[in-house]
Amino acid sequence: MTRKTRPILGPVLVGLTLAAGAGPALAEFPRQGVEGIPNGIAAPFVGHWSVGFPEGDGMINGQPVADCAKPVVLREGDGGSLVYESPKGGSTRFELNAFAGRTSWIPQGGESMLAVWTTPDEFYSYTVALTGSARWNDPRVFRRCR
C-alpha cells in the first residue's frame, strides 16, 4: 500500500464497522423455524392465508398483500409440491426442500423463497435473489385464516 491509499482505507473501515454495528438496531427476523413443525413438506402449509408484514414496536405496516376475505390458498400439488393460488388469480407450483431449519420453495423459473415457521399458524417468507442471497430484511408474514 502506498501512503495515498491509507487515508482512504481508514474511513472505509470505520464505515464498515459502523454499518456492522447498525445491524442490531434493525429488526431481527427469524431465520430458523421453531421445533415440531416439519420442513420440506406441503402438509403444514395447506390452507388459507393472509399475507402481511411483521408487527412490532417501531414498525410501520401498510395494507396486507392478502387478507382472509380474499386469502392466498396453499394446497398440496403433485409429487409433494406446493401450489400457491393468488387471490388475484393465477397459481404457481413450488418444489419444497428442507434446509437449515426452514423450507425452500423453488419455482420452475424465477426467484425462490424461504419459509420459516414461527408458530403452526404463522410463518415468515423471504425471497431469494437469483444470486442465492436471501432478503432477510424484507419478509412477508403468512397468518393462517380461521
Is 73 domain-assigned? yes
Is 6 domain-assigned? no
Cell matching residue 14: 470505520
Spatial distance between the Cα atoms of 135 and 29, rounded to a whole number of angstroms: 11
- 140 is in which domain, residue-wise? 29-144
Tell me: pLDDT of 6 over 90. no
**CB-based contacts of 130: which residues, under 8 Å, 6+ apart?**
111
Q: Distance of alpha carbon 103 from its chain centroid, rounded?
A: 10
CATH code at position 79: 2.40.128
Is 132 domain-assigned? yes
Spatial distance between the Cα atoms of 86 and 89, rounded to a whole number of angstroms: 5
Is 23 domain-assigned? no
Write down the pLDDT at residue 84.
98
Cell matching residue 87: 387471490
Is 118 domain-assigned? yes
Which has more pLDDT, 1 or 145?
Answer: 145
Instruction: Choose the weakest-confidence range: 19-33, 38-52, 63-77.
Output: 19-33
Q: Which region holds residue 88: left if phi is over 0, alpha if psi is between -120 and 50, else beta?
A: alpha
Cell matching residue 116: 420459516
Determine the average pLDDT of the residues in 89-109. 95
Is 92 domain-assigned? yes
Is 101 domain-assigned? yes
Q: Which residue has the cell 419478509?
A: 139
Maximum distance among all alpha carbons in the chain? 66
Tell me: pLDDT of 23 over 60. no
Is 39 domain-assigned? yes
In the chain, the number of structural domains is 1
Q: Please give the model's pTM, rounded to 2 decimal places.
A: 0.78
Spatial distance between the Cα atoms of 23 and 114, rounded to a whole number of angstroms: 21
